[in-house]
Structure 1
Amino acid sequence: MKTRISGLAGALAALVLAGTGAMADGAGLRGLATGDDSRGWEGVGRLDLGGAAFCTGALIADNLVLTAAHCLFDKATGARIALDTMEFRAGWRNGRAAAYRGVRRAVAHPDFVFEGEDRGMDVALIELDQPIRNSTVLPFAVDEMPRRGAEVGVVSYAHDRADMPSLENVCHVLGRQSGTLVLDCDVDFGSSGAPVFDFSSGAPRIVSVVSAKATMAGDVMVSLGTSLTAPLADLHAMLDQGDGVFSRVRPTATVMGRDEAGSSTGAKFVRP
């Protein structure tokens, strides 16, 4: 789990510690506490998983939620989570959602490896049991991976903000390697699957999803995101072909916990 990430870690840690200022320039998290604050973000929701955990997800069609592949598996056992125990709560805020939906199908990318180090394939699509056709809950467009140095933003839930999403509207792409983005965005447990947005065209467009949080050399905190363009096309094809849920992905190892996230050298990461 260290090789590819730690190969990027040294260069990025040097970049950050050399004084790029990216870690200090972020606007920080802003809670979307009111209806006015959250207007336009209702398509981001909390994905409840078996009543014991949750991730963040975002609508990209009226019946499709984009999230991280590892969210579909129990982090303690590596077993798949039963679809009938999942619920997407669009715009979840202060005990209420703009829409509640169950899950009909869920597909993880076939190249995703539960215990692997490649964050570029940590992508999943969830098909809801019914479309969300609500003028206040609108899906987001998807775009290509941003360049290094680009400003992005994240809307996410987390363990310490489980009942209200937060927006970080300025964080940065510190680097990219293959299908993995390294970001200075503020994420925590529950933020897995959160959409990473590019605002450069005016309307927010999803360019990645949060896969993990990481510690680089010198205890520099970063977050890792996935590529979308090719993996998302693969997931759409799987749904179109009626591919069996989880038929290609059989995890064999448990995910790291808070106290097991890595080794004493290189980068260490944990799925948030």
Structure 2
Amino acid sequence: MRLTLRWLCAAIALCLASAAGATSLELLELRRMLTVDEHAEWRGVGRVNIATFSERGMCTGTLIAEDLVLTAAHCVISARTGKLYEPGNIHFVAGWRMGSKVAESRASSIAIHPSYRPRRGGEGTRRGLDLALLRLRTPIPAEIAPPFAIGPPRLVRRPLTLISYRRDRAHALTRQDGCDLKRAQANLLLLGCDVTFGASGSPVFASENGQTRLVAVISAMSESRGQSFAWAVMVDRSVFAEVLARLD
């Protein structure tokens, strides 16, 4: 997938962008930290923690199978070297809230989408799909943290909900409703969401027939005329299969 120059200039990577929050009162009203009871429904969403000798970071990831976590490709690539982190340096913590968790596991292997182009000194060229899969060393049973199913592309037209760990709320999940679709080009979506550091890799959900489906993954943020937006990569079964085929 190739993006126009205008789209590339508009997309600001989460890990390089300003930490300024949304100035829209409407977005602030739609964004709230989940309570203890509300966390239970989303315990398949977790923190993706990166720790090496010289680098530290966090993103958000989602269980889509007992041993598979979906996140953003730039989260698993070193900005210093432009290469994938060693799997053992990536730690997925499911249902993290205020020092407690439902499960945890380190990655045993990593794969990014074949069209994503990492670059040393930055997180990528955005010419491809900013998606990655982690295979966990120890699967997390569904009864502990239920994985989420991937929904069909048509669901991105429905009301969307973002679930994320944000740098300003790093120890509990934040829910943001009203992430309506503003624009779409191929698999790249512009959403009316306010995101910041840590939210990279966060899942965007839609509901169908009472079932919650994962439809996109947060990749970047931008701001225009005082309003915050999020860039997300739409995930369908064919896109998922392309990443899975590269996973050990």
Same fold (TM over 0.5): yes
1:29 matched to 2:31: yes
CA distance 1:146–1:161, change in 2 (3 Å):
farther
CA distance 1:228–1:236, change in 2 (3 Å):
same
Contact preservation (8 Å) 2:10, 2:222: no
How far apart, in 2, do the equivalents of 1:123 and 1:23 lie? 31
Contact preservation (8 Å) 2:216, 2:235: yes
How far apart, in 2, do the equivalents of 1:7 and 1:112 lie? 17
Amino acid at match of 2:189: L
- SS of the counterpart of 1:133? coil
CA distance 1:90–1:167, change in 2 (3 Å):
same
1:105 matched to 2:109: yes
What do the CA deviations read for 1:88-127 (whole angstroms, capped 9, x no partner)?
0000001111001011111001110123133x51011100
1:84 matched to 2:88: yes
More helix by proportion, 1 or 2?
1
CA distance 1:4–1:148, change in 2 (3 Å):
farther
1:42 alignment counterpart: 43
How far apart, in 2, do the equivalents of 1:168 and 1:90 lie? 19
Larger Rg: 1
- SS of the counterpart of 1:110? coil
- TM-score in terms of structure 2 length: 0.82
More strand by proportion, 1 or 2?
2
- SS of the counterpart of 1:40? helix
Amino acid at match of 1:116: T
1:258 alignment counterpart: none
Contact preservation (8 Å) 2:43, 2:146: yes
Q: Which runs of 5+ in 2 are unaligned?
A: 12-23, 119-123
1:5 matched to 2:7: yes
Amino acid at match of 2:126: E
1:182 alignment counterpart: 190
Contact preservation (8 Å) 2:44, 2:146: yes
Following superposition, the deviation at residue 227 of structure 1 comes to 2.1
Amino acid at match of 2:198: G
- SS of the counterpart of 1:165? strand
Following superposition, the deviation at residue 237 of structure 1 comes to 1.9
What is the aligned counterpart of 1:215 among 223, 234, 245? 223
Following superposition, the deviation at residue 57 of structure 1 comes to 0.2
What do the CA deviations read for 1:38-87 (whole angstroms, capped 9, x no partner)?
12100000000116110000000000000011111123443422211111
Contact preservation (8 Å) 2:48, 2:90: yes
2:246 alignment counterpart: 238
Q: Which runs of 5+ in 1 are unaligned?
A: 10-21, 243-272
- Percent of pairs identical after alignment? 32
1:154 matched to 2:162: yes
Following superposition, the deviation at residue 4 of structure 1 comes to 4.8
2:132 alignment counterpart: 124
How far apart, in 1, do the equivalents of 2:183 and 2:246 lie? 30
What do the CA deviations read for 1:114-171 (whole angstroms, capped 9, x no partner)?
23133x5101110000110151310000012346753100110011111111111332
Contact preservation (8 Å) 1:148, 1:175: no
How far apart, in 2, do the equivalents of 1:85 and 1:8 lie? 31
How far apart, in 2, do the equivalents of 1:23 and 1:145 lie? 30
Amino acid at match of 1:212: A
2:98 alignment counterpart: 94
- SS of the counterpart of 1:189? coil
